[in-house]
A and B are shown apart, each in its own frame.
Chain A
Amino acid sequence: MPTSLSITPKGRTGPDVDPDVTPDLPPAPPGRDLMKIPLVAKVMRSRWYPGVLQVPVAGIFGLVAYQLLAGPVTAERNPGTALMWVLWWPVLPISFVLLGRFWCAVCPFGALSDFVQKIVGVNRPVPRFLKLYGLWIIDAQFLAITWSDHVWGIVESPWGSGVLLLLLTTGVILSGAFFQRRTFCRYLCFLGGLCSNYSRSSVVGLKADTSICATCKAKAACYNGTATQAGCPMFNFPRTMDSAANCNLCSNCIKACPNDAIQITTRKPMSELWFLDKPKVEESFLAMAIMGIVLIQNITMLTVWQDALAWIEATTGITNYPLIFTVAFVVAVSLPVGLLGVAARITAAGNLENTLMNFARFGYALIPIDIAAHVAHNLFHLLAEGSLVFSTVASMFGAAPADGATALASPAVILILQMVILALGVAGSAYAIRRITNRRYGSLARRRATTVPFMVLLGILSVLNVYLFMLPMAHRM
């Protein structure tokens, strides 16, 4: 009797194998290589890049620091405050989406770290606790700075902003003096954490052609550097790099690679969020903490905030503003984090991952609405107070200081722009939730069980943000 052959793969119990158990995860599609454009290649390979940009940025930074520490004491008359919080801070998240972490390539802190390392650097390896907990330290810094801003005054206090810059500069010098590469930028900079999250949505990314890397004999020159060219300052190994989160587009690897394997590719915005294979809880936490920070920043600028404070004072007798604000701050930050946790828990009952993994994975999906809310909030400051940039800078050259901010756009235009940006962010997050789910799960039941809770969460955050943005907001300066 002939033996019947099994048509199922060896080791399988039957033909109906759950495909979601061992999902076949397609990789991200390749984009257009910008290094094939001669001008881009010339700039990125130039020894003047990014130094030629770092010098003027450092100069402006020095001017800002001087004005903050020694210039006018009031925010609306201080050029440092206007340049830093009215111009630079609103434009920054937009640059992350368009150019990834490019700001870090020209950041004066990065340049300072490199300089200090060059003259006195001890170059110790990054401490293990920083590798393990650096992101949590960044999360804590972000929250602490936001809290301090409201309690002691940073944005509206030139002196406070100046002290913050001095503290950051001290951290940079400490890090550059004792540790390798740009340890501060990678593991300690609060802005770096923001850059990292937002840059995942960027339309450009750096990657290596692995087929070329497979035959490389240059002993990882892209990471280690060569005798004449430093390696990656952000501890990235381009051959295995699959994220724009920690790449500052400094082009060290491009210059060091002897095989021309490094590419700068275009990609669909937010596409990195769909193809994440190793999500991190601390990065999702940061994304939700930022959402909470935007909420509390919006709330404290509303006229209803005054009414709320008066009510609290009348009802409880508590007049201590730091205490009241701290409670509101904790609630505002905890709300999105808590809601994400609840959605993750509900989802875990219907898909194949636990609560923590769902929390980590889908926190990234909410980065687009994060960016949108952040940009929309700062758009108000840029457009409603933007004239201060011109008037305060002009006052350094003898012009009479203005009595206040003149809006660059009408309230109606600002609000419409905010709503459009929010809509884009909501759409982006909704699409990211869908793409992440569909990539991991084939069955309709699991897709539904995964998508619905996070879409509901997105809906809640969307309504909250829209409502807050539609309320009248006070100027900060």
Chain B
Amino acid sequence: MIPSKARHQQRAPRNAGQQIASVLAASISALILTTLGAPAALADPAGYPAQGPSAGATATPDPHASMTGMDPDMPGMSHDETPGMDPDMPGMSHDETPGMDPDMPGMSHDETPGMDPDMPGMSGAGSAHQHGAATGSEARPQAAVVGTFVLFNAGVLLTAGLMRRRAKLTASAKTSRSSGPTK
């Protein structure tokens, strides 16, 4: 085995210059990347508005955007103009409503006039963008899911508890047998 000092001498000389070069390269690459990014950053951000309604529903539609995330102030979304609504639905005041509550159940997309049918995700069965993202009208089987969760885990806890109790009883029976009275 070659001693480490001799081996060190056999290695390519590692000098401070190489380390400084590495640090400089990293710093220069950081500067270059920042310089490249700055003009794009300072240009007109056409892709995503920093304020206002989610870009997923307007300028840069996102196929994953929830249907009920629509802007309640969107044209055609006035409460008075929406057919098919149950006037007795909770929250559906007969007084003038400034905006819709997108969380309200029964807000089917199909019943809302004034929407752009060509907006991604808003077309029919042929759309590539339809998938199971949550919608305001999507039923949430809370009782079924939470109930299953509770029951299943209760079963797990019960089973484990019983197994542990049996193991303890078995262990204590073994202990009492081994320490039983001798003749």
Contact = CB atoms under 8 A, between A and B. Distances in A.
Contact of A442 (B12, B48, B132): B12
B54 A76 contact: yes
**Most chain A CB neighbours (cut-off 10 Å) among B22, B33, B34, B120:** B33
A120 B167 CA distance: 12
Interface in B130-179: 130-136, 138, 140, 142, 145-146, 149, 152-153, 156-157, 159-161, 163-164, 167
Contacts of A403: 52-53, 71-73
B48 A120 contact: no
Question: Which secondary structure dominates chain A's binding surface?
Answer: helix
B94 interface: no
Interface string B84-95: 000000000000
B104 to A, nearest CB: 10
A431 B160 contact: no
Q: Sorted from nearest, which 10 A-B pairs have the closest CB atoms?
A: A472-B47, A427-B26, A423-B30, A153-B133, A177-B160, A157-B134, A415-B41, A407-B50, A412-B41, A419-B37
B63 A309 contact: yes
B110 to A, nearest CB: 18
Interface in A311-339: 312-313, 318-322, 324
Nearest to B35: A419
Contacts of A177: 156-157, 159-160
Given A412-B38, A474-B55, 14 more contacts: A9-B2, A73-B136, A150-B64, A156-B65, A157-B133, A159-B134, A309-B129, A321-B131, A404-B54, A412-B45, A466-B37, A470-B40, A471-B47, A475-B55
Nearest to B99: A403
Interface string B45-68: 111101111111000111111101
Interface stretch (A17-25, A180-188, A208-216, A347-355): A17-25
How many B residues are at the interface, by size bracket?
A: 35 or more
A419 B68 CA distance: 34
A152 B138 CA distance: 13
**Most chain A CB neighbours (cut-off 10 Å) among B11, B50, B61, B102:** B50
A442 B11 contact: yes
Contacts of A416: 34, 37-38, 41
A416 B142 CA distance: 43
Interface in A133-190: 150-153, 155-160, 163, 166, 169-170, 173-174, 177-178
Interface stretch (A102-110, A228-236, A286-294, A299-307): A299-307
11 contacts: A19-B7, A24-B7, A122-B164, A157-B134, A159-B140, A170-B149, A178-B160, A309-B63, A309-B128, A318-B128, A474-B56
A192 interface: no
A328 to B, nearest CB: 12
Contacts of B63: 300, 305-306, 309, 321
